[in-house]
Structure 1
């Protein structure tokens, strides 16, 4: 064998031996790693490995101080749950401009309060607003003051809504659901979440008049339909016939073309038609050649109003005939309370504008709180 071939053969043998040694080292390392993984926790690592690992540990950040949130009262959002019926949609944000405090309403449900210990009765709440000019921080401002009316009754006081305003010629009494309103049970804060199902099985004591109409859909609503919401009033059928409000006034809007329309109010109990027409002519609201047409227009409006009054009486009579003795007794013993927000440093002074009047159907509250 030549010297060249011997050197090549020797080199190959050396390479193979090196590969075998390397393989043995890898096997040995795998066995060492396996053995180390089974060692107890108090096994001391090699200093170099411990040093390397300690460098990779991130420094812990100092713990921030815990935040303390103010605990909500159990009925704190009760007044907001009662929809402010009859408030213009574009003024709803103005209602919640201030942080109104209705803790007096909450306290009414506590022992000793007006709404505590009411036996088999329930409490039905509806909201509203009263725009008033009141002082706030040295200035007079028009403020939409929220109010809440609590009706104590064993059954819902009504499932109807009245729609009436000066701008509307006729009064409508429609089912609540037509205006997407209904009496819904109010669930206190401590009964919510996982306890809602359990609470729903029991007989709730508080109901609020809610509205499911979405504000986002208002832009697609017809103007007449939209305005109906602005003129809504919670309805209560008059308990006594003398409480039935039968107006003797009619709104007159006479189209006196080419002049502007004549707007006035005629009361058939005190006004005489011809004299009333002459007064309009003296005031230059009406021309003399339109007198006869105006008088006939007024007479027709009076006939229409009287017909509506008769229909109201008949509807009330029929409704009471259908009532059970218990229901009649319940209606005769209804109690309703009107709540205003409590005065705070962050809210306007409303003490001078509080009133017992609720609306044309409920008339006055038994007590203002």
Structure 2
């Protein structure tokens, strides 16, 4: 055999041996790949920290449910812009509190005051709540009076969409309302702010001049004692706004002074004097009628009503001081309004 042929034969045999060895390696790999993968141990999920929410107080939203009578509509958002705390009002209904176990009628108001807050002085509309402890509603009327309005109006609350409604504490809101024995009544207003654009300006302004009305026949009204009249005279120059006291002022001197100050023209002097005299006559007549009405009310009053009036108490609540609200400690006042006078207690 030739040498070259022998080498070819040896190479051929070697190639066949290598080719035979390849499937063996593939089979080995396949066997290894079919082994099931090792299962990872499950990792226990960490439990989330429990969240704790402070329970709502039973009367927590009471002060917000009360309509702030006489507040300008565009100022309401500023009133509720602070997180005012009326826990003193809530505590008054607890055992030992001033209002515990009593029938109470509540109305709100606001008092614009310049008060310190966070190193600054701000004009704040401070909310206050007046509580009338009484077995019957203090009144179903509203007074409308301002410097700009010449005539004072006393009208039914319902004309201004206001009324006394029962307040339902949080713990009773799942109960049947008609079966509850209501002890707290609040002055509510159903006039929607969104509907104000459909009202006339004079109607909107009336809400700003509203004052909760109260008439106590045992107390002489300031109207009966007053000797002043509000004068709004349509002068040629400009309307004259002034007060005339028929006991202290002399009409001739009063008129001459207005002329000297260029408030009134000389040719309107007689007309102005007659205008003032008519207002004085109207005021004196109103005083007489008020005294007569009070006398008649006392004569016709039952003994039960008399005792109830004698036990009437007015409480005025201001917000409790907190780090998030302005310091109002120096602006608290017992005065409520011209009809109610002063509160028996300020809290």
Question: Could you say which TM-score interval applies, normalised by the shorter chain?
Answer: 0.7 to 0.9
2:77 equivalent to 1:93: yes
* Matching of residue 351 in structure 1 with residue 333 in structure 2: no
1:228-267 to 2 correspondences below 5 Å: 228-246=206-224, 247-257=226-236, 259-267=237-245
Shift of 1:309: 2.6
1:239 and 1:332 in contact (8 A); partners too = no
Q: Give the one of 267, 270, 274 matched to 1:292.
A: 270
Instruction: Please state how far the C-alpha of 1:319 moved relative to its aligned partner.
Output: 4.4
TM-score normalised by L of structure 1: 0.78
Q: Is the 8 A contact 2:142 2:213 kept in 1?
A: yes
Report the aligned-residue RMSD. Answer: 2.1
Are the equivalent residues in 1 in contact too, given 2:216–2:309 (CA < 8 A)?
Answer: no
Match of 1:179 in 2: 160
Instruction: Give, in whole Å, the separation in 2 of the partners of 1:278 and 1:191.
Output: 67
Report how many residues are paired: 306
1:1-369 mapped onto 2 (5 Å cutoff): 65-117=49-101, 121-192=102-173, 194-195=174-175, 197=176, 199-246=177-224, 247-257=226-236, 259-369=237-347
Unaligned ranges ≥5, structure 2:
1-35, 37-42
Does the CA contact (< 8 Å) of 2:150 and 2:232 recur in 1?
A: no
8 Å contact 1:237–1:316 — kept in the other structure? no
SS of match in other structure, 1:69: coil
CA positional deviation for 1:278: 1.0
TM-score by length of 2: 0.83
Q: How many Å apart are 1:65 and its aligned residue?
A: 4.5
* Unmatched runs of 5 consecutive residues or more in structure 1: 1-50, 52-58
Q: Work out the CA distance in 1 between the residues paired with 2:345 and 2:318.
A: 11
